[in-house]
Structure 1
Amino acid sequence: MNLLDDSIIPERAHGVKEEAREFAREHIEPNAHEYYQSGEYPWEILEAGQEAGLVAQDIPEEWGGRGLDLAQMLALTEEFYRADAGIALTLQLASFGCEMTYEYGSDEQCEEYVRPVAEGEQISGLAVSEPETGSDLAGMQTTAEKDGDEWVINGEKYWIGNGVEADWLTVYARTGDDDDNRYGNHSMFIVPTDAEGYEAEHIPEKIAMRASKQAHITFDDCRIPEENMIGYEGAGFMMLAEFFNHGRVIVSGHGLGLAAAAIEEAWEFTHEREEFGRTINQFQAVQHGLADMLTEFESARTLAWRACEKVENGNNAGYWAAMTKTKATETAVEVSEQGMQFHGGRSILEERRISRVYRDARIPVIYEGANEVQRNLIYRQA
C-alpha cells in the first residue's frame, strides 16, 4: 500500500518527494536496524544525503542550497521518517538553526556559516532547551552579557541535536531582565563549537531515535565576537516563534512518516499471521482496528497539508502549526500502539520494525513544544 501518495501534495513537491523516496529505500531503510542497535551517528548516510542534495536544502540558492519551500520539505520529511526516524532526524538536524541566520542574519554571517552547511562542509545545530526548562521560551536562563566587543555566555543547554558533532550552533540566550516585557529578553547568537568555554557531551543512551545524537552543553564564560549576534538584541523570542511555526509543520511530517510505517507493518502482519485456522485480518475486530488506523492517518495527513498551505501564506500560522503537530504526532503514537497489539508477543522483539516505530513515535509528541503546550496555542489563537 502507498499511504504517502502524491495526490494530496502540490505538484512542485513531487520531484523532491520522489528523490527522497529513492534515497530512503537505498540508504535509510537497509541500515535502520543496524544504527538503532549500535546507537552510532550515521556519518556515511549523512554524507550520502549531502551529495544527493537532500540535506540542508531549504537554504536559499544564494547561499548554496536549493531553496526548497515548506511543502517540498514536508514531502521529503514524510519519506525519510517512514524509512527510519532516527536517521531521518540526523539528516534534518544537520542544518538546524540555519534558518535564523539566513532569515535574520547578515550577508557576512550567511557567507561564513550558512554556505558551508549548504555545501556539505559543515553541520549546525540549535540550542534552546535547558535542563530545567523545555517549552517555556521566555523562561530560559542561559545568559549572554556584553563585555567590550564580545558577548560572554554562561549557562547550560540540554537535548541539543549535534551539540557534540556540529561546527557551530545557533544559541538562544537571555540578554535582558525586563519583567514587563518577558518576550523581549532573549537574543540569538552564532557560537562555534570550538570556542573556549564551550563543553558538550552526549546524553546517555536513549530508547528511541538512537541514530540521532543529543547533547548536554555547558557554557563557562564562553566568548564570541559581538558580530555573532543574529539580528538585533531582544529579538530572539520573535525569531523562534516564526521558526517553530514552520518547524511544527515539518514535525507533523515526522508523525506521518512514523504512522505510515506502523500501518504498513500492521497490514502486512495481519494478512500473513494465522490464528484459529485463518489469517487474523479476517476477524472483524482486526478489520475495524485497521480501518481506524487508516482513518486517523488520512485525517492527520489532510490536516498537515492544509496547515502547510496556511503557514506558507501566513494565515494564522501559529494556530495551524500547533494543530497539525499535535494531530500527526499523536496519530503516530496511536497507530503504532495498535500495530504492537496486532503483532502480539512478537511486537516486543527488538528485530521487529514495529517495535522501533513504537518507541520512536513517543518522541515527536514532546519535542518542538510538548503537545500540552500546543493545545494552549490552539485555544488561544482559535
Structure 2
Amino acid sequence: MELFDDSIVPEHARERKQAARAFAADEISPVAADYHASGDYPWDVLEAAMDEGFVAQEISEEYGGEGYDLYQLLATAEEFFRADAGIALTLQLAGFGCEMIERYGSESQKEAYLRPIAANDQISGLAVSEPQTGSDLAGMSTEATKVDGGYRLNGEKYWVGNAVEADWLTLYAKTGDREDRYSNFSIFIVDTDREGYHAEHVPEKIGMRASKQGHIVLDDCFVPEEALIGTEGGGFYMLTEFFNKGRVIVGGHGLGLAAAAIEEAEAFVHEREAFGRTVDEFQAVQHTLADMRLQFESARALTWRACRKVVEGENPGYWAALAKTHATEAAIFCAEQGMQLHGGRSIFADRRISRVYRDVRIPAIYEGANEIQRNLIYRHRP
C-alpha cells in the first residue's frame, strides 16, 4: 500500500521525495520508537540529515544551501512525518527562520548567519510565541527598546524550537506603540550566548518528544543595531508571509501523520481475527477505513493545490490556512479512527498508532491554531 503516489507531485520534486522516503526508512523509522520513549534530542539523525542535505533545504545555493522550493519541502515533509513526527520536526526546525534572513536581511547577515547553517556548523530557531500569547501575533509583549548602538530585549518566549540547542534565533519583539498595532513589531537575530539570554526546556510533552521546545527569558539582553532584520516595524508582515509557506508544510505534517495512522490501521485489521474472520471483513470496519481515505485524499489534494497557489502568490493566506487546517484535522480523524480499530491494543505505549495519536494533536496548534486559521479562511475567502 503506497499512499503517497507521485502523480500529484510536480515532476521536479519527485526525485527529492524518493530521497526523503529512503532516508526516512533508513534513518528515522528504525529509531523512532526509542526516541519517543526517551525524549532525547536525536543528534545522530540530525547529523545524518545534514550529510544528506535535508537540513535548511531552502537556503539558496548562493549561500551554500540546496535551494529547494516549496514543492520539494512539502514532498519531504510528507515522508519524514509519516516516519516520525518528533524527529521530523527536529530536522525542520534546525534551520528555522533562515528564510526571513535570506529574503529581508542584509548581505552581512546572510554571510554571517546563513552560511554556517548551510555548512551544518550551526542550527537556528524562531522565537515568536509567549507564555500568555500564542496565535495573536499583534499581541506579543516582549519588548525591544532602542538604546545606543542597538536594542535591549526584555520579556519571555515559549514553545521555541531549539531554544536551548540553537546557536542563534530569529526573535519577534515589540518596537513601537503605533495606532496600527500590526506595525509595532520587528524581528531580530539573537545569538543564544548573549548575556541576558536564558533558556530551558519546557516540561515533557505527550507527543513529538524527540523535538525540543524551550522557555526563554530575556533580561536586558542587548543586541546590536545590525541584528535587526529588514526595517523596524516590519516584523508582523515578514512573519505572516513566512507562515504562509510554513502552513503549507504543516499540511505535509498532517498528511504524514494521517498516512501513518492509515497504514497501521490497515495492517492491523487485515491480521486480526474476530468471530471467525479477519476484522477487515466487517462492513463497519470497511466504512471506517473508507472514511479515513476520504479525509486523507481530500486533504492531500487540497494541500498540493494550496502549495501551487502560495508559490504563485494567488491569495496565499487563504490557501495556506485551508491546507493547514484540513490536513491536520484529517490526521486527527485518522489517528482517532485508527485507535478505535486497534481496540484495547491501541493504548499500549509501544504501539505506533499510540505514538501517532499523541503526536497528531500538536500540528493543529502550532503555526497558528486552527481556530485562527478559520478566521483567516473567512477573511481572505475569494
Smaller-chain TM-score bracket? over 0.9
Q: Cα offset for 1:146?
A: 1.1
Specify the alignment match of 1:193 in structure 2: 192
Separation (CA, whole Å) in 2 of partners of 1:146 and 1:381? 35
Separation (CA, whole Å) in 2 of partners of 1:129 and 1:343? 36
Paired positions, count: 381
Give the partner amino acid of 1:300. A
Q: Cα offset for 1:218?
A: 0.3
User: Runs of 4 or more off by more than 3 Å in structure 1?
Assistant: none
Specify the alignment match of 1:98 in structure 2: 98
Specify the alignment match of 2:205 in structure 1: 206
SS in 2 for 1:271: helix
Separation (CA, whole Å) in 2 of partners of 1:54 and 1:93? 11
SS in 2 for 1:7: helix
Give the partner amino acid of 1:83. A
Separation (CA, whole Å) in 1 of partners of 2:316 and 2:119? 30
What are the equivalent positions in structure 2 for 1:6-85 lying under 5 Å apart? Answer: 6-85=6-85
Give the partner amino acid of 2:360. A
Unaligned runs of 5+ in 1: none
Separation (CA, whole Å) in 2 of partners of 1:57 and 1:327? 25
Separation (CA, whole Å) in 1 of partners of 2:8 and 2:245? 19
Q: Cα offset for 1:197?
A: 0.2
Separation (CA, whole Å) in 1 of partners of 2:63 and 2:141? 32
1:155 aligns with 2:155: yes
1:285 aligns with 2:291: no
Q: Cα offset for 1:166?
A: 0.0
Separation (CA, whole Å) in 2 of partners of 1:205 and 1:137? 25
Q: Cα offset for 1:81?
A: 0.1
1:136 aligns with 2:136: yes
Specify the alignment match of 1:166 in structure 2: 166
Give the partner amino acid of 1:269. F
Separation (CA, whole Å) in 2 of partners of 1:14 and 1:190? 34
Specify the alignment match of 1:232 in structure 2: 231
What are the equivalent positions in structure 2 for 1:233-248 lying under 5 Å apart? Answer: 233-248=232-247
Separation (CA, whole Å) in 1 of partners of 2:24 and 2:288? 28
Specify the alignment match of 2:295 in structure 1: 296
1:125 aligns with 2:125: yes
Deviations 1:136-179 (A, max 9, x none): 0000000001111121000000000000000000000000011x
Separation (CA, whole Å) in 1 of partners of 2:351 and 2:44? 24
Separation (CA, whole Å) in 2 of partners of 1:91 and 1:285? 39
Give the partner amino acid of 1:239. M
Deviations 1:51-74 (A, max 9, x none): 011111111111111110000000
Specify the alignment match of 2:320 in structure 1: 321
Deviations 1:52-101 (A, max 9, x none): 11111111111111110000000000000000000000000000111110
Q: Cα offset for 1:119?
A: 1.2
Separation (CA, whole Å) in 2 of partners of 1:43 and 1:247? 23
Deviations 1:193-222 (A, max 9, x none): 000000000001110000000000000000
Deviations 1:218-252 (A, max 9, x none): 00000011101000100000000100000000000
Specify the alignment match of 2:271 in structure 1: 272
Query: Normalising to structure 2: TM-score of the pair?
Result: 0.99
Q: Which moved more, 1:58-67 or 1:78-87?
A: 58-67
1:342 aligns with 2:371: no
Q: Cα offset for 1:118?
A: 1.1
Separation (CA, whole Å) in 1 of partners of 2:60 and 2:91? 18
1:359 aligns with 2:358: yes
Q: Cα offset for 1:128?
A: 0.2
Separation (CA, whole Å) in 1 of partners of 2:236 and 2:57? 25
SS in 2 for 1:110: helix
Q: Cα offset for 1:295?
A: 1.1
Separation (CA, whole Å) in 2 of partners of 1:204 and 1:305? 35
Separation (CA, whole Å) in 1 of partners of 2:54 and 2:227? 28
State percent identity of aligned pairs.
67
Give the partner amino acid of 2:173. A
Separation (CA, whole Å) in 2 of partners of 1:123 and 1:19? 22
Q: Cα offset for 1:15?
A: 0.8
Give the partner amino acid of 1:182. R
Q: Cα offset for 1:289?
A: 0.4
